[in-house]
Amino acid sequence: MAAQLAQRTTYPPIAYTNVTFTNAQVFNPQAARDTSANPDLGYHYDALDYTFGGCTANSNITFGVGTAAGWFRKTSGTSQAGYGIHLADGAVAAFNGTASAPDYWVRLNTVQELDNTAGTGTAGLSGWTTSSNNAPILRGTFLRASTMASEQGNHFAYNDGFLNVQLTHSEVWNGGVGGTGTYSELLSLTNCLFDRCVMTVYGSSASLAMRNVLMRGGKLTINHTASSAWPADVTDSAFDGTKISLNSGSNTNLIHYDYNAFKTNSNRLSPYGVHDVIVTNFNWQVGPLGNWYQPSSGPLVNTGSVTADIAGLYHFTTQVNQAKEANSQVDIGYHYVALDNLGNAVDTDGDGVPDYLEDANGNGVADSGEPNWLLNGFNGLTSGNGLQIFTPLK
């Protein structure tokens, strides 16, 4: 109980309703988590630091490590209405979470009971530009997005215009990503989980790139209109009971689906990949960071298209025993950060910064501009502890 209360709060979020942000904004955690030795009396909420309803960001907005934001609707409608934040043309919304402190973008009523929802609407975060070259960008790293299971609201959508969604190491629970309409979504998804979500990529100028994604249930629609010519590339991804609807149009040379996993007799991406894996049961395993680890001898292990370092997953794992992928052939599906025996992200050089953060591109190499995850910057030792004693003259 004490450990759980330390993640919760008795403080309210800062509420923004019908606000236009003209200048760049940075939002960091502000609702104090109850980490004191003597917890507050009474009920504790899952923390929300900010809420947004009917807001517009005319410049970039950034959410710092561990920030939790909720969205709600102040208007109702399918065109430029019913949104949490509207991103202006070319603006960037960046969620900068980490494995131990992810960011959250959630429908308000998933966390706190008051929700000023006004019926239907576009999405929690949307763009209105009619030019894909000037589409606003939603960039999420270790982002968690969720709605209630009974709701159909989109987290990020483009009904009113283009939106460029770039998610890495992120999880989306229920709700949807994308939509249908005149304009299109530009989706780039790397090592993500979509649980019971509806994902729709539609229109004449869209794009889709999925690598090491796990979709559980839900629905994936990839709809090329008759004259559309846009790329769709899905690789190293697993689909567990997902309903798949496809319209490839006349530009099949821009479509690449391979090294993906599906259940026997379930929907598949077509044209079929020659390296696809068909399973009777994925047999997911429960581990310290989630429920979608893989058995050590499972059918998705070492069956991906490239080695894990090329995929940026050197410091990640699909195994409950926390063995790093390193340079092995990448496993198909979603990966978690590898942990040590204390449940912390592996920190090989003992300098207090986990390997996956020091090696930002996840290729296992200390590239220019990156600290060496094998070399302790405090004492110059390899794989050492900052308090380790050594004799420099020997």
Give the tens place of pLDDT for each residue, 350-369. Answer: 999 999 999 999 999 999 88
What is the reported pLDDT for 388? 44
Which tokens belong to 34? 């109850």
In whole angstroms, what is the distance from residue 104 CA to residue 254 CA?
Answer: 34
| Contact status, residue 199 vs residue 221, Cβ threshold 8 Å | yes
In whole angstroms, what is the distance from residue 319 CA to residue 366 CA?
Answer: 25
Statement: residue 179 has pLDDT above 70: no
Which of 151-160, 234-243, 305-314 has the lowest average pLDDT? Answer: 151-160
Q: Residue 37 burial (CB < 10 Å; 0-12/13-18/19+)?
A: exposed
Nearest by Cα to 172 from 159, 160, 158, 157: 157
Question: Which three-class secondary structure state does DSSP give residue 78?
Answer: coil
Strands 290-293 and 232-235: unpaired
Mean pLDDT of 79-89: 87
Select the more confidently predicted residue: 186 or 394. Answer: 186
Question: Which three-class secondary structure state does DSSP give residue 109?
Answer: helix
In whole angstroms, what is the distance from residue 16 CA to residue 302 CA?
Answer: 47
Residue 52: which pLDDT band, with cuts at 50, 70 and 90? Answer: very high
Mean pLDDT of the chain: 88
Statement: residue 206 has pLDDT above 90: no
What is the reported pLDDT for 382? 56
Give the tens place of pLDDT for each residue, 183-196. Answer: 567 889 999 999 99
Select the more confidently predicted residue: 2 or 373. Answer: 373
CA 376 centroid distance within chain = 30
Statement: residue 133 has pLDDT above 80: no
| Contact status, residue 195 vs residue 216, Cβ threshold 8 Å | yes
Residue 390: which pLDDT band, with cuts at 50, 70 and 90? Answer: very low
Q: Measured between alpha carbons, how far is residue 20 from residues 62, 93, 95, 138 in Å?
A: 15, 14, 19, 18
Give the tens place of pLDDT for each residue, 152-167. Answer: 567 877 666 788 899 9
In whole angstroms, what is the distance from residue 225 CA to residue 180 CA?
Answer: 11
Mean pLDDT of 145-157: 77
What is the reported pLDDT for 181? 57
What is the reported pLDDT for 209? 94
Which of 20-34, 150-164, 170-184 has the lowest average pLDDT? Answer: 150-164
Q: Measured between alpha carbons, how far is residue 33 from residues 6, 27, 131, 257 in Å?
A: 6, 16, 42, 44
| Contact status, residue 7 vs residue 33, Cβ threshold 8 Å | yes
Question: Which three-class secondary structure state does DSSP give residue 155?
Answer: strand
Which of 40-44, 84-88, 121-125 has the lowest average pLDDT? Answer: 121-125
The one-letter code for the residue type at 391 is T
Give the tens place of pLDDT for each residue, 244-277. Answer: 998 876 667 789 999 999 999 999 998 899 999 9
Select the more confidently predicted residue: 197 or 250. Answer: 197
Mean pLDDT of 93-116: 88
0.75 exceeded by the pTM? yes
Which of 3-12, 200-209, 293-302 has the lowest average pLDDT? Answer: 200-209
What residue segments make up the domains of the chain, in order of their start? Answer: 2-346, 347-394
How many Cβ atoms are within 10 Å of 344's Cβ, its own excluded?
A: 12
φ and ψ of 46, to 5 deg: -60, 140
| Contact status, residue 287 vs residue 316, Cβ threshold 8 Å | no
What is the reported pLDDT for 254? 85
